[in-house]
Amino acid sequence: MEIAGAARGVATLTVPQAALLAGIVRSPQGYDPTTRPEAARARRGEVLRAMTDVGSISSAQAAAADDAPLGMLSPLARPAPGCGAASEGLGFFCRYAGEELAEAGIPSSELRTGGYTVRTTLDPDAQARADAAAGRVGTSSGVANVVAVVAPGTGSRPVLALATNREYGPDAGQGQSSLPLVTAPLRGAGSVYKIFTAAAALEQGLISPDSELDVPERYTSAISPGYTVENLGSYDDRMTLTRALATSPNTTFVELEDRIGSIGPVVDAARALGLRRTLDAPSPGGGGTIGEAVAAQDQASFTLGPNPTSPLELANVAATLVADGRWCPPTPILSVTDREGRAMDLPAPPCEQAVPASIAADLRTALSRDHTDGTSADAADETGWDRPMIGKTGTTQVSASSAFVGATSSYAGAVLTFSDRGAPQPVCTDPVRVCSDGTLTGGSVPAETWYRTMEPLHRGLPEGDLVTGRSD
């Protein structure tokens, strides 16, 4: 049921509208104004007379209200089911919150009838900024542009925003999607995964942020025989780890995997820093999870990030690094109380030290130059970004998807841009669209979206103490 004007709030209701709604409460079906208008009108009259008796309105106001039409909208609009009825832009956050509550023991059926009050971690300003930035990619492009923003705390990890250029809903033809675009592993993040190779090598003491690494034009993996990579573009013959993460030569990180000795430690680093559900997703080829398959087969391609990745978990990786290596489970739920006002104790994994604080500091050093002289520098300049941060771009083969992950001491976020209509397809930019020969990179749309989200959120904030690591 929908009454004209009621959607704008209780304070805007007229006397006849208020009386109609109050009267319906006794028997919504018996006084339904769409199917039983005479019964609804009579019941409204009873309420108006009661309002007169207690002095809420005058007899003249009651008579005028009694003569007014019922005021039902025609055609009658019906709210979309579930999260389809959420406020604009919040459908994906609503879905994620519902999934987390269900996992904690409150299924949707109980949530609808249990009288719970749920407070979420949603930050309206962060959500609005992320919505605006993601929405610069048109809904008809065949390309999804998604953003996750979290707060990098050491005791909890509130999810502040989940945004896409898609409206939540079932009609793909209208640019809608009901897929968990921001939370689920759907497409690859590309060279963002070089973070995990660097983390594993740092933990083993093989390198430091200033270590000089080889940059061959072509390299064949020793642990994954036959796997050969080449660099896209020209590089110096040697560069530091910090420079390598900023400019992203492929051969350097495949060779670094060989120095580590196997892919297992790299997968372990990715899991520890935040890719939990991503790596626990079923392997497409069977035989367990993606993480298990990659480690068992020593897939050297792992450092180039071809596997489906959750944007939310990528954001949490950056938050873990900023939080001195302390991982916390991302959550959209601040509190839940039952119908009696009692706080519900929802089970959740505890925070844990994912990597030593010294390793997290070294990684912050190694990731500190992407915005100044790395692959996202142009996007940073375009938005006027001028504060310390960590960041890394990534792009998968044929530019079917690209990512950017970054953080400051105040916010951590990730952006993933990808073709979302059927099988992965190349994506072009200017304008963003599905095409035959992709040009999308992590330094283009994903980085631009990240900076456009974060720059206004940081206005007026202190730069914070983004402590970096040792220097040899």
Average pLDDT over residues 388-410: 97
> Are residues 374 and 192 in contact, defined by beta-carbon separation less than 8 angstroms?
no
Identify the weakest region by mean pLDDT among 65-69, 171-175, 286-290, 466-470. Answer: 466-470
Average pLDDT over residues 111-125: 93
> Are residues 451 and 383 in contact, defined by beta-carbon separation less than 8 angstroms?
yes
pTM, 2 dp: 0.85
* 2 pLDDT higher than 70: no
pLDDT at 4: 45
Residue pLDDT, tens place only, 219-245: 999 999 999 999 988 999 999 999 999
Alpha helices in 351-444 (DSSP H): 357-366, 370-373, 377-383
Average pLDDT over residues 293-320: 97
Helix (H/G/I), strand (E/B), else coil: 274: coil
Identify the DSSP state of 211: -
% of the chain with per-residue pLDDT over 70:
95
Identify the weakest region by mean pLDDT among 24-38, 126-140, 196-210. Answer: 24-38
Give whichever of 21-25, 71-75, 193-197 has the largest mean pLDDT.
193-197
* 290 pLDDT higher than 50: yes
**Rounded-to-integer distance, Cα 272 and Cα 384, Å:** 33
Identify the weakest region by mean pLDDT among 288-292, 304-308, 350-354, 462-466. Answer: 462-466
**Rounded-to-integer distance, Cα 201 and Cα 134, Å:** 34
Place of tokens 């993933």: 416
Taking each helix axis from N to C end, the angle separating 445-458 and 124-134, rounded to the nearest 10 degrees, works out to 150
For the chain, which domains are there?
A: 6-66 (no CATH), 187-332+350-458 (3.40.710.10)
193-208 residues labelled b (16+ CB within 10 A) or e (exposed): bbbbbbbbbbbeeebb
What residue type is assigned to position 124 of the chain?
Answer: P
* 331 pLDDT higher than 60: yes
Residue pLDDT, tens place only, 351-394: 999 999 999 999 999 999 999 999 999 999 999 999 999 999 99
> Are residues 405 and 391 in contact, defined by beta-carbon separation less than 8 angstroms?
yes
What residue type is assigned to position 263 of the chain?
Answer: I
- Give the count of beta carbons closer than 10 Å to the beta carbon of residue 405: 35
pLDDT band per the 50, 70, 90 thresholds, residue 467:
low
Greatest alpha-carbon pair distance for the chain in Å reads 91
Helix (H/G/I), strand (E/B), else coil: 463: coil
pLDDT at 79: 62
Tokens of 114: 């249990």
- Taking Cα atoms as reference points, which of 220, 192, 91 lies closest to residue 406? 192
Residue pLDDT, tens place only, 43-65: 999 999 999 999 999 999 999 99
> Are residues 427 and 400 in contact, defined by beta-carbon separation less than 8 angstroms?
yes
pLDDT at 321: 98
> Are residues 450 and 147 in contact, defined by beta-carbon separation less than 8 angstroms?
yes
Identify the weakest region by mean pLDDT among 70-74, 135-139, 337-341. Answer: 70-74
* 38 pLDDT higher than 80: yes
- Taking Cα atoms as reference points, which of 407, 244, 414 lies closest to residue 321? 407
